[in-house]
Structure 1
Protein backbone atom coordinates (compact mmCIF):
# COMPACT_ATOMS: atom_id res chain seq x y z
CA UNK A 1 0.00 0.00 0.00
CA UNK A 2 1.20 3.47 -0.79
CA UNK A 3 1.65 6.11 1.89
CA UNK A 4 -1.04 8.78 1.77
CA UNK A 5 -0.95 12.29 3.16
CA UNK A 6 -3.80 13.00 5.59
CA UNK A 7 -6.61 14.92 3.99
CA UNK A 8 -7.82 17.88 6.09
CA UNK A 9 -11.28 17.44 4.53
CA UNK A 10 -11.76 14.03 6.20
CA UNK A 11 -14.43 13.62 8.86
CA UNK A 12 -12.46 11.76 11.54
CA UNK A 13 -14.74 8.73 11.16
CA UNK A 14 -12.39 6.91 8.82
CA UNK A 15 -10.92 4.46 11.35
CA UNK A 16 -14.41 2.98 11.63
CA UNK A 17 -14.31 2.09 7.94
CA UNK A 18 -13.22 -1.47 7.31
CA UNK A 19 -10.20 -2.96 5.58
CA UNK A 20 -8.61 -1.11 2.68
CA UNK A 21 -11.24 1.64 2.78
CA UNK A 22 -9.18 3.31 5.52
CA UNK A 23 -6.33 3.90 3.10
CA UNK A 24 -8.12 5.99 0.50
CA UNK A 25 -7.59 9.72 1.13
CA UNK A 26 -10.71 10.72 -0.77
CA UNK A 27 -12.96 8.73 1.60
CA UNK A 28 -14.90 10.91 4.03
CA UNK A 29 -16.38 8.24 6.30
CA UNK A 30 -19.92 9.19 5.25
CA UNK A 31 -20.21 6.92 2.21
CA UNK A 32 -22.90 4.23 2.36
CA UNK A 33 -20.85 1.04 2.31
CA UNK A 34 -23.75 -1.16 1.32
CA UNK A 35 -25.15 1.11 -1.36
CA UNK A 36 -28.22 3.24 -1.12
CA UNK A 37 -28.81 6.87 -0.34
CA UNK A 38 -26.29 8.87 1.63
CA UNK A 39 -27.72 10.27 4.85
CA UNK A 40 -26.30 13.44 6.33
CA UNK A 41 -27.41 12.48 9.82
CA UNK A 42 -27.35 9.53 12.16
CA UNK A 43 -29.74 8.27 14.80
CA UNK A 44 -28.84 8.31 18.49
CA UNK A 45 -30.59 6.93 21.60
CA UNK A 46 -30.26 8.84 24.87
CA UNK A 47 -29.98 5.68 26.98
CA UNK A 48 -30.46 7.21 30.44
CA UNK A 49 -33.85 8.52 29.26
CA UNK A 50 -34.91 5.27 27.56
CA UNK A 51 -37.46 3.16 29.48
CA UNK A 52 -36.81 -0.05 27.53
CA UNK A 53 -40.27 -0.31 25.94
CA UNK A 54 -38.71 -2.12 22.93
CA UNK A 55 -40.99 -0.38 20.43
CA UNK A 56 -38.11 1.01 18.35
CA UNK A 57 -36.53 -2.44 18.09
CA UNK A 58 -39.82 -3.80 16.71
CA UNK A 59 -40.33 -0.95 14.23
CA UNK A 60 -36.72 -0.80 12.94
CA UNK A 61 -35.09 -4.08 14.07
CA UNK A 62 -31.98 -3.69 11.94
CA UNK A 63 -31.20 -0.30 13.50
CA UNK A 64 -32.11 -0.73 17.18
CA UNK A 65 -31.61 -3.48 19.71
CA UNK A 66 -32.19 -3.76 23.43
CA UNK A 67 -28.87 -3.64 25.25
CA UNK A 68 -28.87 -6.73 27.53
CA UNK A 69 -27.06 -5.33 30.59
CA UNK A 70 -29.35 -2.35 31.19
CA UNK A 71 -32.46 -3.16 29.13
CA UNK A 72 -32.33 0.01 27.04
CA UNK A 73 -32.36 0.65 23.32
CA UNK A 74 -29.14 1.20 21.40
CA UNK A 75 -28.35 1.79 17.72
CA UNK A 76 -26.41 -1.05 16.14
CA UNK A 77 -26.40 0.02 12.49
CA UNK A 78 -27.09 3.39 10.91
CA UNK A 79 -28.06 2.29 7.40
CA UNK A 80 -29.99 -0.98 7.71
CA UNK A 81 -33.57 0.28 7.91
CA UNK A 82 -35.32 2.88 5.81
CA UNK A 83 -35.37 6.45 7.01
CA UNK A 84 -39.16 6.18 7.22
CA UNK A 85 -38.95 3.20 9.61
CA UNK A 86 -36.42 4.99 11.80
CA UNK A 87 -38.56 8.13 11.78
CA UNK A 88 -41.58 6.05 12.87
CA UNK A 89 -39.53 4.70 15.79
CA UNK A 90 -38.55 8.27 16.72
CA UNK A 91 -42.12 9.57 16.42
CA UNK A 92 -43.64 6.78 18.51
CA UNK A 93 -41.01 6.71 21.28
CA UNK A 94 -42.99 7.33 24.49
CA UNK A 95 -40.15 9.25 26.19
CA UNK A 96 -38.67 11.00 23.13
CA UNK A 97 -35.16 9.58 23.66
CA UNK A 98 -34.28 8.90 19.98
CA UNK A 99 -32.88 11.73 17.89
CA UNK A 100 -31.41 12.47 14.48
CA UNK A 101 -27.97 14.08 14.93
CA UNK A 102 -25.17 15.21 12.66
CA UNK A 103 -22.50 12.52 12.24
CA UNK A 104 -19.82 14.69 13.83
CA UNK A 105 -22.02 15.16 16.90
CA UNK A 106 -22.85 11.43 16.87
CA UNK A 107 -19.18 10.54 17.22
CA UNK A 108 -18.89 12.86 20.24
CA UNK A 109 -22.06 11.45 21.83
CA UNK A 110 -20.85 7.87 21.36
CA UNK A 111 -17.55 8.75 23.06
CA UNK A 112 -19.41 10.38 25.98
CA UNK A 113 -21.57 7.25 26.39
CA UNK A 114 -18.60 5.46 27.98
CA UNK A 115 -18.85 7.78 31.00
CA UNK A 116 -22.64 7.71 31.44
CA UNK A 117 -24.05 6.08 34.55
CA UNK A 118 -27.05 4.06 33.51
CA UNK A 119 -29.27 2.28 36.04
CA UNK A 120 -30.53 -1.18 35.29
CA UNK A 121 -34.25 -1.19 34.52
CA UNK A 122 -34.69 -4.34 36.57
CA UNK A 123 -34.83 -6.63 33.58
CA UNK A 124 -33.12 -10.01 33.95
CA UNK A 125 -29.72 -10.10 32.31
CA UNK A 126 -30.52 -13.31 30.49
CA UNK A 127 -32.76 -16.39 30.86
CA UNK A 128 -29.99 -18.54 32.33
CA UNK A 129 -29.50 -16.00 35.17
CA UNK A 130 -33.23 -16.19 35.94
CA UNK A 131 -33.14 -19.98 35.95
CA UNK A 132 -30.15 -19.97 38.34
CA UNK A 133 -31.99 -17.64 40.72
CA UNK A 134 -35.06 -19.87 40.68
CA UNK A 135 -32.96 -22.99 41.36
CA UNK A 136 -31.26 -21.37 44.34
CA UNK A 137 -34.64 -20.24 45.75
CA UNK A 138 -36.02 -23.78 45.44
CA UNK A 139 -32.88 -25.22 47.00
CA UNK A 140 -33.13 -22.88 50.01
CA UNK A 141 -36.83 -23.63 50.40
CA UNK A 142 -36.22 -27.40 50.36
CA UNK A 143 -33.31 -27.24 52.85
CA UNK A 144 -35.11 -25.27 55.58
CA UNK A 145 -35.25 -27.15 58.91
CA UNK A 146 -38.71 -28.39 59.86
Structure 2
Protein backbone atom coordinates (compact mmCIF):
# COMPACT_ATOMS: atom_id res chain seq x y z
CA UNK A 1 0.00 0.00 0.00
CA UNK A 2 1.40 3.41 -0.87
CA UNK A 3 2.05 6.11 1.71
CA UNK A 4 -0.64 8.36 0.24
CA UNK A 5 -3.26 5.61 0.33
CA UNK A 6 -2.38 4.61 3.89
CA UNK A 7 -2.49 8.21 5.13
CA UNK A 8 -5.89 8.77 3.47
CA UNK A 9 -7.34 5.65 5.08
CA UNK A 10 -5.81 6.64 8.43
CA UNK A 11 -7.33 10.13 8.15
CA UNK A 12 -10.72 8.65 7.32
CA UNK A 13 -10.49 6.23 10.22
CA UNK A 14 -9.39 8.95 12.66
CA UNK A 15 -12.46 10.96 11.69
CA UNK A 16 -14.80 8.08 12.45
CA UNK A 17 -16.49 7.56 15.79
CA UNK A 18 -13.98 4.80 16.66
CA UNK A 19 -10.87 6.85 15.96
CA UNK A 20 -10.51 8.22 19.48
CA UNK A 21 -10.85 4.91 21.30
CA UNK A 22 -8.50 2.91 19.10
CA UNK A 23 -5.78 5.55 18.86
CA UNK A 24 -5.02 6.56 22.46
CA UNK A 25 -2.02 8.77 21.63
CA UNK A 26 -2.05 12.12 23.35
CA UNK A 27 0.68 13.84 21.37
CA UNK A 28 2.84 14.10 24.48
CA UNK A 29 4.73 10.88 23.80
CA UNK A 30 8.45 11.36 23.11
CA UNK A 31 9.69 10.65 19.61
CA UNK A 32 11.28 7.28 19.16
CA UNK A 33 14.59 7.35 17.35
CA UNK A 34 16.20 5.32 14.61
CA UNK A 35 14.47 2.18 13.38
CA UNK A 36 11.72 2.45 16.01
CA UNK A 37 10.36 5.63 14.45
CA UNK A 38 9.46 3.80 11.22
CA UNK A 39 8.12 0.66 12.89
CA UNK A 40 4.53 -0.01 11.76
CA UNK A 41 3.48 -1.24 15.20
CA UNK A 42 4.73 -0.45 18.64
CA UNK A 43 4.54 -3.06 21.34
CA UNK A 44 3.17 -0.61 23.90
CA UNK A 45 5.72 -1.92 26.37
CA UNK A 46 8.06 1.02 25.87
CA UNK A 47 8.17 3.02 29.13
CA UNK A 48 7.88 6.31 27.25
CA UNK A 49 4.66 5.16 25.62
CA UNK A 50 2.90 4.16 28.82
CA UNK A 51 3.59 0.44 28.72
CA UNK A 52 3.97 -2.06 31.51
CA UNK A 53 7.32 -0.69 32.63
CA UNK A 54 7.96 2.08 35.11
CA UNK A 55 5.89 5.20 34.48
CA UNK A 56 8.22 7.61 36.27
CA UNK A 57 11.86 8.48 36.01
CA UNK A 58 14.43 9.36 38.64
CA UNK A 59 15.86 12.87 38.91
CA UNK A 60 18.63 14.20 41.17
CA UNK A 61 18.46 17.83 42.27
CA UNK A 62 22.19 18.52 42.00
CA UNK A 63 22.01 21.81 43.89
CA UNK A 64 20.66 19.99 46.96
CA UNK A 65 22.95 16.95 46.59
CA UNK A 66 25.85 16.88 49.07
CA UNK A 67 27.82 14.15 47.27
CA UNK A 68 27.47 11.48 49.96
CA UNK A 69 27.56 8.73 47.29
CA UNK A 70 24.94 6.55 49.03
CA UNK A 71 22.79 6.37 45.89
CA UNK A 72 25.74 5.43 43.67
CA UNK A 73 26.67 2.60 46.04
CA UNK A 74 23.11 1.25 46.21
CA UNK A 75 22.04 1.59 42.55
CA UNK A 76 25.32 1.44 40.66
CA UNK A 77 23.82 1.14 37.19
CA UNK A 78 21.60 4.22 37.56
CA UNK A 79 23.59 6.83 39.49
CA UNK A 80 26.97 8.31 38.72
CA UNK A 81 29.06 10.78 40.73
CA UNK A 82 29.86 13.71 38.48
CA UNK A 83 33.63 14.37 38.76
CA UNK A 84 33.62 18.18 38.46
CA UNK A 85 31.38 18.91 41.44
CA UNK A 86 31.19 15.52 43.16
CA UNK A 87 27.42 15.32 42.97
CA UNK A 88 25.14 12.52 41.88
CA UNK A 89 23.53 12.33 38.46
CA UNK A 90 21.25 9.79 36.79
CA UNK A 91 22.90 8.14 33.79
CA UNK A 92 20.44 5.32 33.02
CA UNK A 93 16.75 5.34 33.83
CA UNK A 94 16.50 1.58 33.32
CA UNK A 95 19.75 0.63 35.03
CA UNK A 96 18.31 -0.87 38.20
CA UNK A 97 15.03 -2.25 39.49
CA UNK A 98 12.37 0.00 40.95
CA UNK A 99 12.92 -1.51 44.41
CA UNK A 100 16.65 -0.78 44.27
CA UNK A 101 16.00 2.79 43.11
CA UNK A 102 13.54 3.30 45.96
CA UNK A 103 16.19 2.04 48.38
CA UNK A 104 18.67 4.55 46.94
CA UNK A 105 16.11 7.33 47.35
CA UNK A 106 15.47 6.26 50.94
CA UNK A 107 19.20 6.27 51.80
CA UNK A 108 19.69 9.85 50.59
CA UNK A 109 20.26 12.02 53.69
CA UNK A 110 19.09 15.27 52.05
CA UNK A 111 16.21 13.95 49.89
CA UNK A 112 17.62 15.24 46.61
CA UNK A 113 16.42 12.25 44.53
CA UNK A 114 12.85 12.33 43.25
CA UNK A 115 10.46 10.26 41.15
CA UNK A 116 9.18 12.48 38.33
CA UNK A 117 6.95 11.90 35.33
CA UNK A 118 8.81 11.35 32.06
CA UNK A 119 7.21 14.48 30.59
CA UNK A 120 8.63 16.58 33.46
CA UNK A 121 12.01 14.87 33.26
CA UNK A 122 12.85 16.38 29.87
CA UNK A 123 12.10 19.90 31.16
CA UNK A 124 14.16 19.35 34.33
CA UNK A 125 17.14 18.10 32.32
CA UNK A 126 16.97 21.18 30.08
CA UNK A 127 16.94 23.43 33.16
CA UNK A 128 19.88 21.53 34.65
CA UNK A 129 22.10 22.80 31.84
CA UNK A 130 21.73 26.34 33.21
CA UNK A 131 22.28 25.48 36.88
CA UNK A 132 24.89 27.34 38.85
CA UNK A 133 26.77 25.01 41.17
CA UNK A 134 27.49 26.90 44.38
CA UNK A 135 30.88 26.99 46.01
CA UNK A 136 30.52 25.35 49.43
CA UNK A 137 29.85 27.97 52.07
CA UNK A 138 28.51 30.65 49.71
CA UNK A 139 24.80 31.23 49.02
CA UNK A 140 23.45 31.20 45.48
CA UNK A 141 21.89 34.51 44.50
CA UNK A 142 19.10 34.54 41.92
CA UNK A 143 20.98 37.22 39.97
CA UNK A 144 23.94 34.86 39.58
CA UNK A 145 21.64 32.18 38.18
CA UNK A 146 20.03 34.64 35.74
CA UNK A 147 23.41 35.95 34.57
CA UNK A 148 24.75 32.44 34.01
CA UNK A 149 21.62 31.43 32.07
CA UNK A 150 21.88 34.55 29.86
CA UNK A 151 25.59 33.90 29.14
CA UNK A 152 24.98 30.28 28.21
CA UNK A 153 22.11 31.21 25.90
CA UNK A 154 24.30 33.81 24.17
CA UNK A 155 27.04 31.21 23.69
CA UNK A 156 24.50 28.80 22.21
CA UNK A 157 23.26 31.46 19.76
CA UNK A 158 26.83 32.26 18.68
CA UNK A 159 27.51 28.57 18.02
CA UNK A 160 24.39 28.27 15.88
CA UNK A 161 25.21 31.29 13.73
Please list every run of at least 4 consecutive aligned residues from structure 1 whose deviation after the TM superposition is greater than 6 angstroms: 2-5
Give the CA RMSD over aligned residues.
Answer: 3.1
Q: Distance in 1 between matches of 2:127 and 2:55?
A: 21
Which structure is higher in helix share?
Answer: 2
Q: Normalised by the size of structure 2, how large is the TM-score? A: 0.60
Q: What is the CA deviation profile of residues 80-129 of structure 1, one whole-angstrom value per residue up to 9, with x for unaligned ones?
A: 101011000101100000000010011110111111101366xxxxxxxx
Q: Normalised by the size of structure 1, how large is the TM-score? A: 0.66
Partner of 2:60: 45
8 Å contact from structure 1 (residues 70, 119) kept in 2 = no
8 Å contact from structure 1 (residues 52, 72) kept in 2 = yes
Q: Judging changes above 3 Å, is the alpha-carbon distance between structure 1 residues 30 and 120 closer, same or farther for their aligned structure 2 residues?
A: farther
| SS of residue matched to 2:101 | helix
- How many corresponding residue pairs? 115
Partner of 1:108: 123
Structural mapping, 1:50-69, within 5 Å: 50-69=65-84
Kindly indicate whether residue 106 of structure 2 is the aligned counterpart of residue 99 of structure 1. no
8 Å contact from structure 2 (residues 47, 55) kept in 1 = no
8 Å contact from structure 1 (residues 65, 74) kept in 2 = yes
Q: Distance in 2 between matches of 1:56 and 1:84?
A: 13
Kindly indicate whether residue 26 of structure 2 is the aligned counterpart of residue 9 of structure 1. yes
For residue 18 of structure 1, report the CA deviation from its aligned partner: 4.1
Q: Identify the structure with bigger relative contact order (alpha carbons < 8 Å, sequence gap 6+).
A: 1
Partner of 2:87: 72
Q: What is the CA deviation profile of residues 22-72 of structure 1, one whole-angstrom value per residue up to 9, with x for unaligned ones?
A: 334765997159xx9511100000000000011100000000000111110
| SS of residue matched to 2:127 | helix
Q: Distance in 1 between matches of 2:122 and 2:53?
A: 17
| SS of residue matched to 1:23 | coil
8 Å contact from structure 2 (residues 64, 112) kept in 1 = yes
